[in-house]
Structure 1
Amino acid sequence: MDRSGEPRAYIGSFTSAGGRGITTAAVDPKTGALTALSVTAAEDPSYLALAPSAGVLYAVNETERGAVSAFRTTGAGLAPLGAAVRVGGSGPTHLSLTGRRLLTANYTSGSVSSLPLAADGAPAGPSHVLSHQGSGPDADRQEGPHAHQVLPDPTGRWVLSVDLGTDSVRVCALDPATGELRVHTETAMRAGTGPRHLAFHPEGEVAYVLHELEPQVTACRWNAASGRLEPVGEVPVASGGASAAVRAYPSAVVASPDGRFVWAAVRGADTIATLSLADEPGRPRLTAAVGCGGDWPRDLAVDPSGTRLYAANERSGDVTWFDVDPLTGQPHRAGSLAVPAASCVVLG
């Protein structure tokens, strides 16, 4: 919900591909339906992060020069909170908040930036940029590091960065005073799988790492006391019935608030995979794969009740919402909102 108490959705887009910026939409609390309220200009705001208590929305500007923009949330839209700020890396694809810091994963430069936040929530230039090192076997996609996601663990003690180019997840310590990031451990994923994003189980002891270069999720045990991530098994997120001529490129992974399901968006196949956690959190099973309602699902969001799922379909230019079956976790399409070049959807 925004500061007025009304539920809102914020939708990022690629302006370089015909998107309009950031769309603010009302969310019907009974049906989950989206109604567009306004559009706010921003340059390639491909990923968003919301600080509800501060009433501030942050967006990466996924460009070669790399920047972040901040906006004050209002009842009907967004108001810019200062000018865009350079992040010290190129092609930022993800951002998250921890304490009084904004973190960005800079895909093109293969780095992670730590930016301080002022009392009003406005970001300043980076206090530290951590450059990743390494490569992978895919010469086209893994010629060097490509940080694709950065986020705090559920305790807020650690910062995890997921790197598609190095087939690894780095666990970092963040100095709250200086913003410096220091690599604590690095967990190797299977070579050539291209880890892209991860999501934590609500209980905080398991993480699900989604791979872009192979349609797989790796379940990992997470030890917050030692800051260690341990892979324990893989599960596919694309059904064997998919056409062999269509390569699958998984993009986003989310866990249900009640800890019973994990969903993964799969581009190419244009599906949403449902993984059941009925056996145990560390042993997900693929139980269904349904159409995403459009083309090239880049992002997923689940509402706080776990009863609805939203997919940002980039190439078809829409956000589609689904009702979630409470017994099986399978999504059922309920409607869509046209948003050209949609890249991300955040509920708040």
Structure 2
Amino acid sequence: MTEQPSTRPTTTPATGSAPAPAPSAGSRELWVGTYPAAGAGTPAGLGEGVWRVTLDVATGGLRAARQVVETPAPSFVAVHPSGRVLYAVGERSEGTVTAFEVHAEGADGPEAVRLEPLATVASGGADPCHLLLSPDARTLFVANYSSGTLAVLPLDADGGFAPEVLASGAPAQVFGHTGTGPDESRQESPHAHFVALAPGAGHVLVCDLGTDEVRRYRVEADGRLTDDGIAATLPPGTGPRHLVFSADGRFAYLVGELDVTVHVLAWDAATATGRPVQVLPAGGTAAAADAATGVAPRVLPSHVTLDGDRLLVGVRAAGVLAELAVGADGLLTPVRDLPLGAGAWPRHHAVVDGWTVVAEQVAGALVTFAPGSEPGTVLRLPAPACVVAVV
């Protein structure tokens, strides 16, 4: 693998607004959310923030890494479809969501881009870890892991927080939940880990790692939500983390973080429910025991994406990106485990212009590779947690 260094620039003071420059021919810009350099669970606000990185779409090379703004523990980010607003969680006990306006100092290249905070509001719970924009970009949904809550943040037409949110400094709605699971170390209470739209966009779904359920909320005409029960119940101890739907909406592919599995759910759009039809190992093998403690780190699958007929699952501690083939019947067949290097901890990944870009949180790197190839470029970056393509 080719390794590339990174640099940390200083943030330029605000000097006005202009449209963000378009990526140069043959390149794509990426937003990267990070944890504090010492990792998840360490004090936030010690210099971490949101980075911008350039991806060469011809070679998969990564360059021009620069920290655009400092903000506490932005472990997940989302982009307004206009490209002019970026949202970032503040993953800490008093959770926050910040909306940043995307600015450019001029038209002299993507390195001129900067982020200016528009507003910071409460996330509706503790340790927000995932964001989802509604299809009409008028609502931002927030999964708060430690409190297990789902929050609803209405937006204005330009992507800023709606007046009611700005006035209260809090979400318009917050939904809690009850229940536990058999894994006492991780399932002592609900843990909302991921928000998704059901096919047809009539329901919002929440993967609840703590209760082994996919929670369901009906989307009303005004964009608000109504609790609508449970869309799917997984075997005890599954720990549902993330999911993705097939292009035709007939199947959901769900990662079980705690039992190290991938579950295939046949999806009934009429009732917005999932029925388990297949379960198989997520990939990877048990990690080696620590030399000092004699204890092996727990293998923990994380993010899942669908790239055509390939399902990709990051598996932390095992340090691999597992590739599974999706058959015409919607079922999965393991293909291979792509090794990501010593110390790899693939928390999140995205497929951008054919290149898979992996955020290796603990190793402190971004890694890229093309379908059918081994990982190629490594770009050192402190504790990357999320990769999103610039709109």
Question: Is the structural similarity TM-score above 0.5?
Answer: yes
Matching of residue 110 in structure 1 with residue 152 in structure 2: no
| Higher gyration radius (CA) | 2
2:33 and 2:384 in contact (8 A); partners too: yes
Aligned length: 337
Distance in 2 separating the partners of 1:107 and 1:60? 12
Distance in 1 separating the partners of 2:185 and 2:389? 34
Deviation at 1:51, TM superposition (A): 1.9
Aligned twin of 2:324: 275
Aligned twin of 1:191: 236
Letter matched to residue 109 of structure 1: S
Aligned twin of 2:336: 288
Deviation at 1:243, TM superposition (A): 5.4
Counterpart of 1:92 (choices 128, 135, 145) is 128
Letter matched to residue 157 of structure 1: G
Matching of residue 302 in structure 1 with residue 351 in structure 2: yes
Change (3 A) 1:243 1:219: farther
1:184 and 1:227 in contact (8 A); partners too: no
Aligned twin of 1:31: 59
- How does 1:35-46 map onto structure 2 within 5 Å? 35=63, 36-46=65-75
- How does 1:254-265 map onto structure 2 within 5 Å? 254-256=305-307, 258=308, 260-265=309-314
Matching of residue 323 in structure 1 with residue 344 in structure 2: no
Distance in 2 separating the partners of 1:121 and 1:81? 13
Letter matched to residue 302 of structure 1: V
**What TM-score, normalized to structure 2?**
0.81
Letter matched to residue 345 of structure 1: V
1:58 and 1:69 in contact (8 A); partners too: yes
Deviation at 1:183, TM superposition (A): 2.2
Aligned twin of 2:274: 229
Matching of residue 252 in structure 1 with residue 252 in structure 2: no
1:61 and 1:67 in contact (8 A); partners too: yes
Unpaired runs of at least 5, structure 1: 326-330
Matching of residue 62 in structure 1 with residue 91 in structure 2: yes
Letter matched to residue 90 of structure 1: A
Superposition RMSD on alpha carbons, in Å? 2.0
Counterpart of 1:14 (choices 3, 10, 35) is 35
Change (3 A) 1:317 1:285: same
Change (3 A) 1:131 1:27: same
Distance in 1 separating the partners of 2:47 and 2:380? 11
Distance in 1 separating the partners of 2:349 and 2:336? 16
Deviations 1:233-289 (A, max 9, x none): 101122468658453101111000x2x110000011011100011x33521111101
Letter matched to residue 21 of structure 1: G
SS at match of 2:248: coil
Distance in 2 separating the partners of 1:299 and 1:225? 31
1:162 and 1:170 in contact (8 A); partners too: yes
Aligned twin of 2:3: none
Letter matched to residue 211 of structure 1: G
Change (3 A) 1:104 1:281: farther
Aligned twin of 1:51: 80
Change (3 A) 1:101 1:241: closer
Change (3 A) 1:126 1:79: same
Following TM superposition, where does structure 1 have runs of at least 4 consecutive aligned residues deviating by more than 6 angstroms?
Answer: none
Unpaired runs of at least 5, structure 2: 1-18, 39-45, 104-109, 290-295
Letter matched to residue 234 of structure 2: M
Letter matched to residue 310 of structure 1: V
Change (3 A) 1:239 1:89: closer
1:3 and 1:52 in contact (8 A); partners too: no
SS at match of 2:118: coil
SS at match of 2:181: coil
**What TM-score, normalized to structure 1?**
0.91
